Amino acid sequence: MKKQKLLYIIHGIHSGGAELAFLSALEDLEKVYDFRAIVLGRSNAVLLAAIHDSVRSRITCYPYPLPILLLYLPAIVRSIRSFSPDIMISSLWRSVVPAIWYKRINPGVRYIAILHINKFFHVADKFFTKRALRQADIVFADSEATKRFAGMHSPRGNEIQILSFLTAKRPKEMTNPPFSEKKFCFVGRLHKMKNVPLAIKAIGWLREQGIDARLDIYGRDDGDCAAVKQTIQTLGLESVVRWRGEFVPENRAAVFSKYNFYIQLSSHEGMAMSVVEAMQHGLVCFVTPVGEIPAYITDMEDGVLVDVSERTQWESTLERIKQVATDENLCAQISEKSKRAFEKRLDFSTSLIQALRESTEAGSID
């Protein structure tokens, strides 16, 4: 039986949840479909190099900043027309630009827009994401929170389906430092939305309380790196708070095994895959109840929800972090429950292919 042609368009490849989900599904997509991918913008060379050769040959990269990408847009659309996909996926706002152009001139293609968060980052994101919602045949969301957000901005009343964004199953064997050690980590983009300077301040406060807390930060600069570095320097934490850059997804178990606590004080999130992965690896997570996080973390059961929405809540939040982090028995209980929280969930690749098949069958019936 002839395979359907599937095209997946995405921003440059970095260590964000959307990009890591894309990477985790590549080999399965290549087996099931006549598969191609287009990557727009600069990518992490290490992440690209880690892709298997047989799959990497199916990916076309346009590693240019946005102004130059606009000049390449006609060529990108011509390459899509040359492939003539049956199904086209766009993930993240920049990928929407060629996708909606191609959908307009080839309305027969089944166009699927994937949304990853319950807010617009900026004017361009809002402009193109709304147009994706207008033209998409179906929308995939990473969480219930994102689904509600997409529904608010979807003029067509699109069908919106939630995918599982688990990119890996829980490791069978895990080792973490004893809870007598206070080794924190954060994994994600250095963006204002992530409030990383606030997490650094929490580490500084714990140290003022006589707790030898340490923090390693993993991720790429997305506009807030200067504030992160300034906060570290201002608080004199250079020896205990470090920015480690990005890591290859295959190394996630080795990275997470170095820590026993995870801290993420975001103002907005979608599924928050870094939190999920930290939980799978048994880290005690201190996180804000935003996006989908309250749907999968029960406070003081498999994680700790903290409030940073108001300055008046900050002191009580710090005290709560201290209370939990210094109770080794409580930490062990939370850790064990967090490891099991996602055992019955499908991974992203399986969830995506299943949803694609269902949507294609529905489309053929329509």
> Are 236 and 328 within one domain?
yes
Residue 138 pLDDT:
92
> Are 13 and 52 within one domain?
yes
> Are 231 and 152 within one domain?
no
Calculate what percentage of the chain has a pLDDT beyond 90.
59
Residue 171 in any domain: the answer is no
C-alpha span between 315 and 281 (Å, rounded): 29
Residue 172 in any domain: the answer is no
Residue 41 in any domain: the answer is yes
> Are 189 and 326 within one domain?
yes
Residue 162 in any domain: the answer is yes
| Residue 366 pLDDT > 70 | no
> Are 292 and 201 within one domain?
yes
> Are 145 and 289 within one domain?
no
How far is the first Cα of the chain from the last one, in angstroms, to the nearest whole number? 22
**Domain CATH code at residue 114:** 3.40.50.2000
> Are 9 and 147 within one domain?
yes
> Are 26 and 157 within one domain?
yes
On the CB side of 156, CA atoms within 13 Å amount to: 13
pLDDT-derived band at 210, boundaries 50, 70, 90? very high
pLDDT digits (tens, 9 = 90+) for 219-268: 989 899 999 999 999 999 999 999 998 888 788 889 999 999 999 999 98
Residue reference for tokens 């361009």 = 124
Span 325-352, mean pLDDT?
Answer: 93
Span 30-44, mean pLDDT?
Answer: 93
Residue 160 in any domain: the answer is yes
The count of structural domains within the chain is 2
Q: Give the domain range for residue 65.
A: 5-166+346-365
Residue 174 in any domain: the answer is no
pLDDT digits (tens, 9 = 90+) for 104-159: 999 999 999 998 877 778 888 888 888 888 899 999 998 888 888 888 888 766 78
> Are 255 and 316 within one domain?
yes
pLDDT-derived band at 175, boundaries 50, 70, 90? confident
> Are 160 and 103 within one domain?
yes
Residue 264 in any domain: the answer is yes
pLDDT-derived band at 363, boundaries 50, 70, 90? low
> Are 132 and 25 within one domain?
yes
> Are 287 and 219 within one domain?
yes
Span 278-288, mean pLDDT?
Answer: 96
Residue 101 in any domain: the answer is yes
| Residue 320 pLDDT > 50 | yes
| Residue 350 pLDDT > 50 | yes
Span 55-80, mean pLDDT?
Answer: 90
